[in-house]
Amino acid sequence: MTVNIVGAFLAGVFVVQAILSRDTSGYDLIAFLSGIGITAAIVFGLWLWLIRGDHHVSFGIVFLWACVFRLIGIWGEPILKDDYFRYLLDACLFISYGSPYGIPPESLFNENSLSSACVEMLTGVNNPHLSTIYAPVLQYVFVLSHILSPVNLDLLQFIIVLFDLAVIYMLGKLAPARMVLLYAWCPLVIKEFAFTAHPDVIGVCLLLAAFIFKKHNQTALSCILVGLAICTKILAVAALPFFLFRQPIRYWLLIPATAGIVYFPFLVGQQQTDLTILAYFAANWQFNAPIFNLLSKLTTDDLARYICLATFLIWFSYFFKRHTTLYQACDIPRMDWVFGVFFLLSPVLNAWYWVWVLPFAVLWPSAWAWTVSVTVLLSYIIGLNISGSELGDYQVAFYAQVMQLLSVAVALIFDYRHNRLRMPRSD
C-alpha cells in the first residue's frame, strides 16, 4: 500500500512537470530543479524504507508505476533540451539521401526535396554547421519511427521508452524488485528518456542484454549484442575486454563483422560516418567537466585530455586485472565503476550519459552513483537556460560544477567508510 501511495504521488509530480513542459512560454529552470529534488528525495526515501525495514515489493508494482511515469513523460514535451530536432531530421535525411552523415543542416535551408515537416526541424537543430554524431543503430531506430509516422516525436519517445522498459525487465531478472526500483523510478532516467527522448538507453539495453547472454554462456549472441551496442555509442567499447578475454578468435571476429554489417549501408558512396564528427567533438568539445577543467587550467586543453585518458587507461588496466582474478568469466563486471570513472575524467558529462552507470548501480548500489544521478542535473544551469545570464550558452555555472564535485566526494567517502568500494570475491 505504501509503495502505491508513493507511486501515485510521484505520478502527480510528473504530471505537473509534463504540464509545465507543455507551456509555450518556456520551462522554468527553478521549477525543473525543484521537481527533480522532490522526486529524488521521495524515491530514495522509499528505497531506504524498503531496505532498512526489510520490506518487500513485487516487481509487477514497480514495473507498472514505471510505465505510468514514462507515459506521462511521453505526453509531456522535452525539458530544457532540443536534441530531438536532430533525431527527427536525421530520419528525414536518411530517407531522402540514403544517409544523414556528411550533411550539415545549414546546407539544406534552400533545399526543396525535404517535406515541410522536415524543413521545420532544420530551424531547431543546434550546431547546424556540423553533420550528425549519432551512430548507425540509432539512425535505424530514427528511420523506423519515421517510416511508421514521419516527424512524430511522440512515437520516437515511445520506441525509446520500450528499450528503457526492457532494461527494467532485465534488471528484474538480476536483482530484487526493491533494488530495481532505484532505476525504474529514477528521475534522471524518466526525464532524459521519456520526456526528452535521448536515445542512449538503446545502447544501455543492448549492452546489458549482452552481459546477460554472456552470463548464460551464449557467447556468440553476446558478442553480436555488444557489437550492436558499440554501433549505438562508441562508449560501449569499454566493455569489449570482458567479452573477448580468453575467447577463441571466431568471437573476436564476430564483433567487427557485426559492426561492418551495421555500417555498410552508410559506407557505400559516403565519405563520412558518425566517427568523423565524434573525433571533432572528442578533440574540441568540453562540458560540465570539473576535473578536466581544473587540469586544463593547470596545463593546456590538449594535455589535460591526454592526462585524463591515460589516467583512465591505467586505472582500467588495474581494474580489469583484478576482475579477471577475483571473478568468474560469466560474472557481470562492475561497469558502474568503469563508466563512472570514465565520465568523471571525461571532458564532457551530459546528464543522460550517467544512465550508462545506473543499471549496474542497481546490482551494486552505492551512494556515489545515485548521488550523481541527481546532482548531474545541475548541468542544466547554463546560459542557454537562464534569461539574461552572462554565462555562455553551454557554460555550466561554476557553483553547479562545485556542488557536483563536492557531492560525489562526500558520497565516495561515505561508501569508503561503509566498505562499498572494494571488489568482493565471486561466490
pLDDT tens digits along 22-34: 886 667 888 899 9
Highest mean pLDDT: which of 107-111, 178-182, 384-388? 178-182
93 pLDDT band (50/70/90 cuts)? very high
For residues 293-308, one letter each, b for 16 or more C-beta atoms within 10 angstroms of the residue's C-beta and e for the rest, the string is bebbeeeeeeebbebb
pLDDT tens digits along 289-326: 989 998 999 999 999 999 999 999 999 999 999 988 88
423 pLDDT band (50/70/90 cuts)? low
pLDDT attached to residue 209: 97
In 53-134, alpha helices (H): 59-75, 84-97, 116-122
Task: Specify which residues 348 forms β-bridges with.
Answer: 287
The chain-wide mean pLDDT, for the chain, equals 91
166 pLDDT band (50/70/90 cuts)? very high
18 pLDDT band (50/70/90 cuts)? very high
pLDDT attached to residue 24: 67
60 to 15, 63, 172, 180: CA distances (angstroms): 22, 5, 10, 11
364 pLDDT band (50/70/90 cuts)? very high
Instruction: Using the structure block, give the residue that is written with the C-alpha cell 565503476.
Output: 337
Q: What is the DSSP string of 323-359?
A: HHHHS-TTSPP-HHHHHHHHHHHSSB--GGGGGGTHH
Out of 85-99, 346-360, 379-393, pick the least confident.
379-393
Q: Which amino acid is at 143?
A: V
pLDDT over threshold 70, residue 269: no
Q: Which three cell numbers stand for residue 47?
A: 528505497
The answer to whether 323 touches 414, Cβ cutoff 8 Å, is no
Out of 117-126, 221-230, 403-412, pick the least confident.
117-126
pLDDT attached to residue 391: 87
